[in-house]
Amino acid sequence: MNFPPQSWDDNDMDWNNAEFKRLNTYPLTYIAAIKEALRERYSALGRSTEFNQNITASLTPLSPVFEFIKALYQIEYAIYWILQSYNQPEWVRLSTHNIYDESTDISGPNFNPCERLWFLHAMDDAGYGAGENWIGFFTSVTGFSMIETQSYSDKKLYPISEVIDLSKLGSWFRQKKALINLMRWIWSPYGVNQTFTCGTQTRNSIPNQTTWGAAKSTYLAQEPRTYPENEESFAYSGFKNINPQYQISCRQSYIVTKASTISRTDEIYRYSYSTDYDFGGKIQKETWKLTNKIENTTSQHIDIFPADSVLHVAPEPSTVYIEDESWWDHSVGRSFLVQKFDGENGFKFRDW
């Protein structure tokens, strides 16, 4: 027997028919699988330290009963908490099918082309309603908050029959497994415990040039200046005045993903939108546009956008710049990254 298990179906586990009338070593392989699957999920979020601090139950075939009870308590809380975090890497809700090219959802508070997965969404998507059918031994869930009604530390020395109802244990395992299986896509804000770092790159301003080709060449010949840890965004401006003379300006953006502590293969999807000009079809005004997809990587520097190779072929500005008017052929926008873990070498604990 592999302990801890290496996948949901390791050790001939049968989740659909797992029922328990007494506590023995057999249920331990199920709860150990839940624990290892959660370890994968926390690691994918860059939160391994948090997992190790909060899930401390020691599960072995010779573990005393109170370690088993402690694991139930800690896993209940860990699943709920990982679906409630704000301003940290967060799971994306798949059931709404809102991660797609040409989404127009850029007016919400987070300006994202998808919906975050949080506790009541996960319960609903897993088929348990919006929270009312939570199966728990130590907690009560009301709305979006958790109130502890019992602590394992108060109960761990009691007979097992007074602490949990073993007839519910199989259903408890199935529900927690179903919730974990929804944790497959991540988006990461640039903040605490981020899985991406970001920055911008600019070049020195240059004087007007007599041709558009000279303006681009002169701009690209400048030494780039990189500003790490800034708000990730991009902007492009190209103009010609009435003489004519030409000038180009660009704020390029980049994102670097952090290496994971788990073995995985990522697929990274980068979406961008512009509030103004459609830069050569690369992005769209008022619409999220899939601009980059990178597969089979554990840590990847995303191509700077707009990339130098794109600027080389940037079209000549179509409108003459006139004093007191805006710059023409102007693009400014933001981008958004979604990280996917259901590829061939993604999570070990998965049912897809």
Look at residue 144 and tell me whether its pLDDT is greater than 50: no
pLDDT bin (cut points 50, 70, 90) of residue 161 is: low
Averaged pLDDT for residues 208-222: 91
The predicted structure's pLDDT at residue 315:
77
The residue type found at 247 is Q
Cut 0.95: pTM above it: no
Mean predicted lDDT score pLDDT of the chain: 77
pLDDT bin (cut points 50, 70, 90) of residue 323 is: low
Helix (H) or strand (E) holding 270: strand 266-274
Look at residue 19 and tell me whether its pLDDT is greater than 80: yes
Percent of the chain whose predicted confidence (pLDDT) is above 70: 69
Look at residue 172 and tell me whether its pLDDT is greater than 80: yes
Averaged pLDDT for residues 35-40: 94
Integer angstrom CA distances of residue 109 from 66, 145, 203: 44, 22, 32
Half-sphere exposure in the Cβ direction for 79 (13 Å, CA): 28
Cis previous bond, 5, omega within 30: no
- Residue 62: CB partners within 8 Å, gap ≥ 6? none
The predicted structure's pLDDT at residue 30:
93
C-alpha 255/C-alpha 328 separation (Å) is 28
Exposure string (b/e) for 277-303, b if CB count within 10 Å is 16 or more? bebeebbbeebbbbbbebeeeeebebb
Averaged pLDDT for residues 231-235: 73
Look at residue 272 and tell me whether its pLDDT is greater than 60: yes
Look at residue 174 and tell me whether its pLDDT is greater than 80: yes
Look at residue 237 and tell me whether its pLDDT is greater than 70: yes
C-alpha 68/C-alpha 78 separation (Å) is 15
